[in-house]
Structure 1
Amino acid sequence: METKHKEQLVEFLQSMYAAKKFKKLKPHSNSDNSFNVSLKVSGYNQLNLMVSDLLKASIFLLHHDAPSLPSHTVNTDINVMTLLEIALQLLPEEEMELLDELYKLNLKV
């Protein structure tokens, strides 16, 4: 009976591998324990708006009046730290360095 279960498990795993259903997470090249997730945006403006919205939601949820709002307004199950971590990861650091360089060039002109 146990052999039958092992065979079924092996068949299931082979079918999952062949079907390639796990597409969202891509293994990170430098780590065994982390993955990359692709996020489609129309440009830097949309990316900026997404980060801004994450930060605004976090500020709102951390505000001292938020817990006193009606329960249908605030979901207390929201993990603000997760929102802040996402916002931090979305910030385009290298592009900001480029903007600094362009700004310095603009000051010279």
Structure 2
Amino acid sequence: MNKTNYFTKLKENTINNSFSVPVKVSGYEELNLIASNLLKASIFMLKNDGECLSNSSDIDVISLLELALQLLPEDEMELLDELNKLHL
């Protein structure tokens, strides 16, 4: 059995004892749409207190919010602020 064919999805980060998962997107616009949709779905579920969901569905809204937070391009936002200052 060749070990390199298995366990390829998670990329280990030994510095903070965690893993990362690569997500393929076509660009920043799609990345923004994914994060926005995760946030909108979470807001919808929290506002409706899960009424539209069956009792058997276990959706962890906190994990959706945490994922959306990780997808936000923080460094790029700083660059946009700098570009905005230059434009003004």
Amino-acid identity (%):
57
Indicate the SS of the match to 1:40.
coil
1:20 aligns with 2:5: yes
Bigger relative contact order, structure 1 or 2, given CA contacts below 8 A and separation 6+? Answer: 2
Root-mean-square deviation (CA), in Å? 1.9
Please point out which of 20, 32, 36 is paired with 1:52.
Answer: 36
Unaligned 5+ segments in structure 1 are: 1-14
Indicate the SS of the match to 2:50.
helix
Q: Which residue type is aligned with residue 59 of structure 1?
A: I
Which structure: larger Rg? 1
1:84 aligns with 2:83: no
**C-alpha offsets along residues 30-71 of structure 1, whole Å, 9 cap, x if unaligned?**
13x3111100000000000000000000001101x3433363
TM-score, length of structure 2 as denominator length: 0.88
**C-alpha offsets along residues 49-94 of structure 1, whole Å, 9 cap, x if unaligned?**
000000000001101x3433363xx874100000000000000000
In the TM superposition, 1:1-109 aligns within 5 A as 15=1, 17=3, 19-31=4-16, 33-63=17-47, 65-69=48-52, 71=54, 76-107=57-88
Unaligned 5+ segments in structure 2 are: none
Give the number of aligned pairs. Answer: 88
Q: Which residue type is aligned with residue 82 of structure 1?
A: S
